[in-house]
Amino acid sequence: MRTVHTLKELRAVLNGYRRQGKRIGLVPTMGNLHEGHIALVEKALQAADVVVTSIFVNPMQFGISEDLDNYPRTLQADQDRLRAAGNTLLFAPAPSEIYPDGLACHTRITVPEVSEGHCGAARPGHFEGVATVVTMLFNMVQPGVAVFGEKDYQQVAVIRKLVEDLFIPVEIIAAPTVRDADGLAKSSRNGYLTPEERSLAPAIYRLMQETGERLKAGDTDYGQLERQALDSLYLGGFRPDYFTIVNSHTLKPAQPGDTELTILAAAFLGVTRLIDNLSITRSIG
C-alpha cells in the first residue's frame, strides 16, 4: 500500500491506474480506524479494482465546541490496518492541502431538506462541511464508486442527494453498521467512554430494537413511542439529543401509511455523543 499526502501525488498515481482501465473506489474517513472502517474498505474492494482510503480530520464539519483538537490521530496504526485489509492507496492530506486559503473564504456546499433536523439540527454546519469535503474528494479521486457506513444514516442520505442533484458520476454504496457483540455500533468516539459508560452504551440499540418490534406489530403512535424512548434513555443515564421515527427515504417524520421506517437516535454518555439507527419494513393491513 502506498501513502500520499498531496493532490499532485494522488493524481499521478491514479492516472497510472486509469491508463490500465482500473475501476477506482473511494472510502472517505477521518482516521482512528476500527473494524467498521475496514468493513467499508472490504466492501469497496468487492466493487473496484483499486481502493483509495482518505484520512482527513475535516475542520469544516466540527462545531465551535466540538472535539477537533482532541480527535484521535493514529496514522501509523491506520496504515497497518489498511495494509492488512488490502487497501491500495492512502490519501492523508494536511488541512493546508485541502483548504490552502483557510476555511473562512472557502466555497461551501449545502444540501437542503435531508440535512435538516436530527444531527443537522444538533450540529449546525456539520453537513455543510461533510458535503463540501466529500465533493472535493470526489473531484480529487474521481472514483467510480464510494462506500459509506450506514451508521451515519443521515450522512448517507445527504451524500446520495448531493450526487443526484449535482450529477456526480459516482455509485454510492452504503455498508451495514458493524457492531460489538453487545450491539454497540463501532465508532471512533467509543474510545472516549469510561468503563462504566461503555457498559451502559448498548442500551441505546436495545431500545431501538424494542421500538422497532412495536412498529412491526402495528403501533403508529410515533410521538408516544418517541417520548417513551427518550424517558428510557434519561433513566438509563443518557442525555438524549433525539430519538425520532422517520420515513426511511425522506427522513421526514413517519406517517401512518409509511412502510419503510428508520429510527434515528443520538444521545450523550458523559462527554461522548453516540449515534445509531435501525431501519424496519412493516406491512399494512
Q: Based on the fold, state whether residues 47 and 143 are members of the same structural domain.
A: yes
In a domain, 264, yes or no: yes
In a domain, 96, yes or no: yes
Q: Based on the fold, state whether residues 68 and 156 are members of the same structural domain.
A: yes
Catalytic residue at 118?
Answer: no
Q: Based on the fold, state whether residues 42 and 118 are members of the same structural domain.
A: yes
Q: Based on the fold, state whether residues 162 and 209 are members of the same structural domain.
A: no
Domain CATH number, residue 265: 3.30.1300.10
In a domain, 227, yes or no: yes
Q: Based on the fold, state whether residues 135 and 201 are members of the same structural domain.
A: no
Kindly report, residue by residue over 153-163, the tens digit of the pLDDT.
Answer: 999 999 999 99
Range of the domain at 257: 188-278
Q: Give the pLDDT confidence score for residue 63 in this predicted structure.
A: 82
Q: Which of residues 144, 175, 206 is at a domain's end? A: 175
Read out DSSP for the chain?
A: -EEE-SHHHHHHHHHHHHHTT--EEEEEE-S---HHHHHHHHHHHHH-SEEEEEE---GGGS-TTS-TTTS---HHHHHHHHHHHT--EEE---HHHH-TT-STTS-----TTTTSSTHHHHSTTHHHHHHHHHHHHHHHH--SEEEEETTSHHHHHHHHHHHHHTT---EEEEEPPPB-TTSPBP-GGGGG--HHHHHHTTHHHHHHHHHHHHHHTT---HHHHHHHHHHHHHHTT-EEEEEEEEETTT-SBP-TT-SEEEEEEEEEETTEEEEEEEEEE----
Q: Give the pLDDT confidence score for residue 68 in this predicted structure.
A: 86
Q: Based on the fold, state whether residues 168 and 196 are members of the same structural domain.
A: no
Q: Based on the fold, state whether residues 166 and 194 are members of the same structural domain.
A: no
| Structural domains in the chain (count) | 2
In a domain, 283, yes or no: no
User: What does the pLDDT profile of the chain (285 residues) look like in tens digits?
Assistant: 999 999 999 999 999 999 999 999 999 999 999 999 999 999 999 999 999 999 999 999 988 777 788 888 999 999 999 999 999 999 999 999 999 999 999 999 999 999 999 999 989 999 999 999 999 999 999 999 999 999 999 999 999 999 999 999 999 999 999 999 999 999 998 999 999 999 999 999 999 999 999 999 999 999 999 999 999 999 999 999 999 999 999 999 999 999 999 999 999 999 999 999 999 998 876
Q: Give the pLDDT confidence score for residue 285 in this predicted structure.
A: 63
Kindly report, residue by residue over 86-121, the tens digit of the pLDDT.
Answer: 999 999 999 999 999 999 999 999 999 999 999 999
Q: Based on the fold, state whether residues 47 and 86 are members of the same structural domain.
A: yes
Catalytic hit among 5, 34, 37, 126: 37
In a domain, 54, yes or no: yes
Q: Which of residues 154, 175, 196 is at a domain's end? A: 175
Q: Give the pLDDT confidence score for residue 142 in this predicted structure.
A: 98
In a domain, 249, yes or no: yes
Q: Based on the fold, state whether residues 213 and 266 are members of the same structural domain.
A: yes
Q: Which of residues 147, 175, 203 is at a domain's end? A: 175
Domain CATH number, residue 112: 3.40.50.620
